[in-house]
């Protein structure tokens, strides 16, 4: 387990793979992004998507799953204070196999919670053709070893 003390700018981590099916794409969209281009290939064909595409928020959820399973192994888990940017350069398609590549951009002690640090990370989600389907810059709360001595 890595604490904030063990995190350095430039550290890299990876996660995945995860494969996503048409059924999963449609299922997610039905719950969270019920728009024709995320629900139906025919309907999507006449839009700029050109065919069934996953909701960007589905790609984000899959990315989070891969972050949790990644080799970053952060103590205390992955607690997002917030996100600075998300882009979706290409859609995630049925059958795509995704993976993530992460990098620590900044690391600073938290002003509000000084037994924690904040790690600013860039996480790039790629498909099997090494095309980028999402970029994410997020701020994670990472406990210091000293936090272990603090009563819960």
Residue 101 C-beta: closest distance to a copy of itself, Å: 19
Q: Return d(Cα 38, Cα 25) in angstroms, integer.
A: 7
Residue 115 C-beta: closest distance to a copy of itself, Å: 11
Residue 77 C-beta: closest distance to a copy of itself, Å: 5
Q: Return d(Cα 92, Cα 41) in angstroms, integer.
A: 13
Residue 30 C-beta: closest distance to a copy of itself, Å: 10
Nearest residue (CB) to a copy of itself, 77 versus 114? 77
Q: Which spans of this chain sit near a copy of itself (rule: CB under 8 A)? A: 28, 31-37, 46-48, 55-57, 60-62, 64-65, 68, 76-88, 113, 141, 152
Nearest residue (CB) to a copy of itself, 22 versus 79? 79
Nearest residue (CB) to a copy of itself, 104 versus 140? 140
Residue 108 C-beta: closest distance to a copy of itself, Å: 17
Nearest residue (CB) to a copy of itself, 1 versus 8? 1
Nearest residue (CB) to a copy of itself, 81 versus 124? 81
3-state secondary structure the chain: CECHHHCCCCCEEEEEEEECCHHHHHHHHHHHCCCHHHHCHHHHHCCCCCCCCCCHHHHHHHHHHHHHCCCCCECCCCEEEEEEEEECCCCCCCCCEEEEEEEEEEEEECCCCCCEEEEEEEEEEECCCCCEEEEEEEEEEEECHHHHHCCC
């Amino acid at each position: 387990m890595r604490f904030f003390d063990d995190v350095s700018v430039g550290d890299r981590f990876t996660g995945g793979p995860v494969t996503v099916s048409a059924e999963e794409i449609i299922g997610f969209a039905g719950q969270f992004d019920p728009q024709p281009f995320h629900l139906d290939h025919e309907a999507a064909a006449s839009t700029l998507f050109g065919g069934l595409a996953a909701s960007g928020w589905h790609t984000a959820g899959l990315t989070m799953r891969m972050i949790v399973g990644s080799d970053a192994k952060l103590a205390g888990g992955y607690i997002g204070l917030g996100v600075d940017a998300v882009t979706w350069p290409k859609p995630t398609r049925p059958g795509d196999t995704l993976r993530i590549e992460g990098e620590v951009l900044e690391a600073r002690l938290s002003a509000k919670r000084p037994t924690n640090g904040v790690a600013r990370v860039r996480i790039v989600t790629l498909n099997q053709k090494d095309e980028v389907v999402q970029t994410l810059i997020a701020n994670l709360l990472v406990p210091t070893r000293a936090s272990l001595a603090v009563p819960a």
